[in-house]
Structure 1
Amino acid sequence: MPPRLTSHDFDQELLILFDAYVHNQIDRRGFLEKAQRFAKAGVTAAGLLAALSPNFAAGQQVKPDDARLTTERPSVASPRGTGTIRGYLARPASAGTTRLPSVLVIHENRGLNPHIEDIARRLALDGFMAFAPDALTPLGGYPGDEDKAREAFATLDQARTREDFLAAATWLRARPDGNGKLGAVGFCYGGGVVHGLATRLPDLDAAVPFYGNTPPPDQAASVKAPLLVHLAAVDERINAAWPAYEKALKAAGADVEVHQYPGTQHGFNNDTTPRYDAAAARLAWDRTLAFFRRHLV
């Protein structure tokens, strides 16, 4: 088996171009046209796109049928949002009647794909009840194709989608098999949602955004939850706004811990793509688990 590709195998300008494509700043045709100048040694622009795109099988850490877990796909009422939001719930099978700490897992801008389901299962194996809602529910759910998912995602009414996530958080905290404490973790788009939830849920017990967009600084005073913020090194689209928001959080007396990981790209925790940085992801995840155990258990 050939060695797994990493971000070091690609030109930095190409990685920035791919980030723009993933976040709908350019379309597929635009990416391929601009990526053509990086194609060499028999590798086409389409081949570069394929190499950079997610490989869910390669990143899977916990199998969907792992006997150590129980999983289900409940639907949550969201009367202020789109009406209903479905999701993926994972719990340790050995929990019995133990009331578990709960974590809301919020996906990137492609809906509830196999990688985010795997994140939920990882949390369940570490003793949490994890619920990953799918913002694409009103459009039929994650379609099984990243390009189609991203296109569908761009058509969502984000105000209603935010209400869907708020409904999911409220539902998860109220479950009788939970211990009443709620954390949230999100990645990219989901990191931004976590930041937003922290401004709207004064009783959120722990919030962990991975490289997510921040709210306007004037909303920082509403944050009561302890924050653990993970940032990539090369991620101008996200990092440019962070200093002003961090300053506002500190001025408001918020409990905030920030880590920026040298040499990393946006998406460094996602182990389905070459932007994954194994060492940084492991450290960030260890910090995340310790943070949740400190505030939720």
Structure 2
Amino acid sequence: MAEIVLLHSAQGLRPGVGVAAEVLRSGGHVVRTPDYYDGEVFADIEPGLRKRDALGSDELDRRFRRIGAEVTGPTVFAGFSLGAYGAQLLAATHPMARGALLFHGGVAPEGEWPDGVPVQVHYAEHDPWVDKEEIARLATVVGAGIECFVYPGDRHLFADPGLPGYSEESAALMWKRSLAFLSRT
């Protein structure tokens, strides 16, 4: 089994990321949840976005790549929202990448997608933070190796039980599909 690196959203390493890691561990996987936000955690998205903007995209890329530099074996990169971007960046560039799980976000990478690195994307149908055109471009770049799952509702981060938009039903289905994906990678 591959290791999983699970990256948090712009709200930081919230308890919901720990819940997600436990769900993935229940499938027999080893899961790491690195913190790329200097220990800062935000109850609301706006302060988290200010932190993201203060760091800037170059610094975030450096931090994601530093996390990737610690990977020495087969790994599935996973992430929530902003963390999905980091997971996708690493899955597209890391030689040990075996897949990408993108929760509540995803963008088309620059360049080609590596052969044999499947992707699974999960988001709410009317999530205002997800750009469906970017997901469509991602699907074009990845090709046959992508699965996209759209859930009812309009809440971002619907799988985080500590946030107001939590959907137990959608989260359970997302985790079931994610564990099935992991069993194939």
**TM-score, normalized by the shorter chain, greater than 0.5:** yes
CA contact (8 A) 2:108 2:137 kept: no
Unaligned 5+ runs, structure 1: 1-99, 175-179
CA contact (8 A) 1:268 1:277 kept: yes
Give the match's secondary structure for 2:54. Answer: coil
Query: Residue deviations 1:92-129, cap 9 Å, x none?
Result: xxxxxxxx631001001022122213322332333222
Query: Residue deviations 1:11-30, cap 9 Å, x none?
Result: xxxxxxxxxxxxxxxxxxxx
Count how many residue pairs are aligned between Structure 1 and Structure 2: 181
Aligned twin of 1:161: 60
CA contact (8 A) 1:235 1:266 kept: yes
Matches within 5 A, 1:1-297: 101-137=2-38, 141-142=39-40, 144-146=41-43, 150=48, 151-171=50-70, 173-174=71-72, 180-216=73-109, 218-219=110-111, 221-224=112-115, 225-238=117-130, 239-250=132-143, 254-295=144-185
Relative to structure 1, the CA distance from residue 168 to residue 242 in structure 2 (aligned partners, 3 Å threshold; closer, same or farther) is same
Q: Structure 1 residue 284: deviation in Å?
A: 0.8
State how far apart, in whole Å, the 1-side matches of 2:51 and 2:137 are. Answer: 32
Give the match's secondary structure for 1:263. Answer: coil
Give the match's secondary structure for 1:155. Answer: helix
Instruction: For 2:90, give the aligned amino acid.
Output: L
Aligned twin of 1:11: none
Computed over aligned residues only, the root mean square deviation of the Cα atoms, in angstroms, reads 2.3
Among all aligned residue pairs of Structure 1 and Structure 2, give the percentage whose two residues are the same amino acid: 25
TM-score, normalised to structure 1's length? 0.55
- The structure whose Rg is larger is 1
State how far apart, in whole Å, the 1-side matches of 2:137 and 2:52 are. Answer: 28
CA contact (8 A) 1:214 1:241 kept: yes
Instruction: For 1:228, give the aligned amino acid.
Output: Q
Instruction: For 2:61, give the aligned amino acid.
Output: R
Instruction: For 2:68, give the aligned amino acid.
Output: A
State how far apart, in whole Å, the 2-side matches of 1:265 and 1:112 are. Answer: 19
Give the match's secondary structure for 2:125. Answer: strand
TM-score, normalised to structure 2's length? 0.84
